[in-house]
Amino acid sequence: MSCFSCLKCHFEDVKNCDGDLGCSESPGSIRGKDAALSNQMANVARSFTFRELAASTQNFRAANLIGEGGFGSVYKGRLESGKLVAVKKLNLNGSQGNQEFIVEVLMLSLLRHSNLVTLTGYCTDGDQRLLVYEYMPLGSLESHLFDLKPHQDPLDWQTRLKIAVGAARGLEYLHCKANPPVIYRDLKSSNILLDCDFNPKLSDFGLAKLGPVGDHTHVSTRVMGTYGYCAPDYAMSGKLTIKSDIYSFGVVLLELIAGRKAIDMTKKTGEQNLVSWARPFLRDRKKFVQLADPLLEDQFPARCMHHAVAIIAMCLQEQANFRPLIGDIVVALEYLASQVEFSEDHKASTFVSHPSPSMTVLPLQNEQK
């Protein structure tokens, strides 16, 4: 069995980990808090040998390749137990490395929620770094929104809302239930994975940071994340807050509604950055509906679309303080999802809304005029 030498770094190191800071890998015994952490990890994420993972993926056969990202290649595999997994193999020449690997393993070992992907295990044989996840049969949200294959049906309105609600619940867990809170920092449609019923799970915690505690309002970091999703305030100052994630959530919601990529260099100048392109529509309520993905073919309740765009507009506020909290977003999206009773012949104009429960769609109350 491979040894996970990085466990020798303290959990403190995860707090302090930033892209260019290395966790100490100096030899030393695992004691106290570290030992507890080690036990916890032993319960949840198991250590695999490279040989086991090679066998599970038929020697990383090209036919089993399901994706490629900054960390490395992702393969579908089957463990000896029969369980299907996704095996992510660090590209030893790539830009990401041991740091993201350690944070990913520690974060996913400490966090547990139905809207976060489960880490089955990891491998640290020699130089090799591999991550083993539960297999998500429908892949990433990105692959269901853009560049659809001829056989692929576009996502319908209900499914888009279901995905938005689940992703928001995952983020709510990170911001409000994890203690200390966790700032995800890499929310984007390629990191939202889907199970066979389109239930979404957040993945890729290699950039996640433990949030500010006590009187601190932010944590200072090297600016990391993905262009197009990164909050402008964070990009300019390096001051990371949970509101940075809210901005990224707004971009994902906009991608879901508009069916356009956060950054798309194949579009003409002025349309390549989704948020810049959408700003004029977001400023004028009468234009909200023009943001709708043409692939929806007007098959959505107009009122719900309106509310959803209002939520997006709030999440994308330039000033971080004006962005809503994730708890309010969850409530608002759950309400919108509960409103969807939409039969084939209901067009946008004919949608009938049901009496609302005691809550109101909170973000609309604060919406900028």
Ligand X SMILES: Nc1ncnc2c1ncn2[C@@H]1O[C@H](COP(=O)(O)OP(=O)(O)OP(=O)(O)O)[C@@H](O)[C@H]1O
The answer to whether residue 74 forms part of the interface with ligand X (CB under 6 A) is yes
| Annotated binding-site residue? 89 | yes
Is residue 88 part of the contact set for ligand X (CB under 6 A)? yes
Does residue 52 belong to the site contacting Mg ion (CB under 5 A)?
no
Is 302 a binder of ligand X (CB under 6 A)? Answer: no
Task: Report the amino acid identity of residue 100.
Answer: E
Of residues 30, 58, 69, 110, which one binds ligand X by CB under 6 A? 69
Counting DSSP H helices and E strands in the chain, the numbers are 12, 12
Query: In the chain, where do the E strands start and end?
Result: 46-47, 65-68, 72-78, 84-90, 119-123, 130-134, 182-183, 192-194, 200-202, 209-210, 219-220, 239-240
DSSP notation for 136-164: -TT-BSHHHHSS--TTPPPPPHHHHHHHH
What the block records as the tokens of 89 is 């193999």
Q: Considering 125, 127, 186, 197, which one is annotated as catalytic? A: 186
Choice from 56, 124, 140, 221 touching ligand X (CB under 6 A): 140
Comparing CB distances to Mg ion, the nearer of 208 and 278 is: 208
75 part of the interface to ligand X, by CB under 6 A: no
The verdict on 172 binding Mg ion (CB under 5 A) reads: no
How far is 186 from 43, CA to CA, in rounded Å? 27
Asked if residue 191 binds Mg ion (CB under 5 A), the reply is: yes
Tell me, yes or no, if 245 is annotated catalytic. Answer: no
Count CB-CB contacts under 10 A for residue 30.
15
The interface partner of residue 71, options being Mg ion, ligand X, none and the CB cut-off 5 to 8 Å by kind, is ligand X
Beta-carbon count within 10 A of 356 CB: 11
Residue 204 is a binding residue for Mg ion (CB under 5 A): yes
What letter represents residue 287's amino acid? Answer: K
Residue 357, helix vs strand vs coil? coil
User: Residue 228 Cβ, how far from ligand X at the closest point, in Å?
Assistant: 11
Catalytic residues: 186
Instruction: Name the site residues for Mg ion (rule: CB under 5 A).
Output: 69, 191, 204
Binding residues: 89
Instruction: Name the site residues for ligand X (rule: CB under 6 A).
Output: 66-71, 74, 86, 88, 117, 133, 135-136, 139-140, 143, 190-191, 193, 203-204, 226
Binding residues for ATP: 89
